[in-house]
Structure 1
Amino acid sequence: MAKSDAVRITTARSSAAADMKSRQRRYAISMSIRTVCFLAAVFVGDGVLRWILVAAAVFLPFLAVVVANAENQRDDGFRLPDGPGAHELTAGRNED
């Protein structure tokens, strides 16, 4: 790993187990919302609201997969300066 590829602890990824648990939780929440939309579409009766709920029930699986597989990245906005000598300390004056 080069110096410019150093990882700050505040931007480090979560562990694989924590990442998997988070993805499963987001997916389960999305599928629960889909189930509610489907059941509401059955009981709401005819009308525009029924078709909105059906559309939500149809497209939520796609959105759930996209959200569940969203990459786990953190960024605190900190960047080291680039260029020659940017990472070097200079010698100070010695006044002994």
Structure 2
Amino acid sequence: MSTNRRDEPTVQSVTSARSAANDDINARMKHYLVTMGIRTGCFVLAFVTQGWVRWTCVALAVVLPYVAVVFANARSPRVAGRVAAVTPRDPHRRQLDQ
């Protein structure tokens, strides 16, 4: 751990930490399931409707799996510059130094 000018340790702020990996996976899984649910609806509508609506539903049913997989594999981007150093404030440390 590096130190700053006053020999106090540099600590990363909890608010600048990345979100948990499980949160990212759960969000991607939710997006995938919603997209595949829409695809299932398109299959049902393709059998119920006629004309251009049927062909639009068929086209969506063909394209949506690709879209769902691409978005499910996309990770949330890392934001540069969000990590900030924080000097810990410990009121008891002042008393010990005296």
Q: TM-score band (shorter)? A: 0.5 to 0.7
Task: Number of aligned residue pairs: give it.
Answer: 70
- Structure 1 residues 2-81: aligned runs within 5 Å: 10=16, 12-45=17-50, 47-75=51-79
Rounded Cα–Cα distance in structure 2 between residues aligned with 1:35 and 1:72: 26
One-letter code aligned to 1:69: N
TM-score (norm 1): 0.61
The 4+ residue runs of structure 1 with deviation greater than 2 A are: 7-10
Q: CA-atom RMSD, angstroms?
A: 2.3
What are the superposed Cα offsets for residues 28-83 of structure 1, whole Å, 9 maximum, x if unpaired? 000000011111111002x12111110100110000011111221253x759xxxx
Rounded Cα–Cα distance in structure 1 between residues aligned with 2:60 and 2:75: 24
SS in 1 for 2:19: coil
Highest RCO, 1 vs 2 (Cα 8 Å, sep ≥ 6): 2
**Residue in structure 2 matched with residue 4 of structure 1 by the alignment:** none
**Residue in structure 2 matched with residue 83 of structure 1 by the alignment:** none
- From the two aligned structures, give the one with the greater strand fraction: 2
Structure 1 portions without partners, runs of 5+: 1-6, 80-96
TM-score (norm 2): 0.60
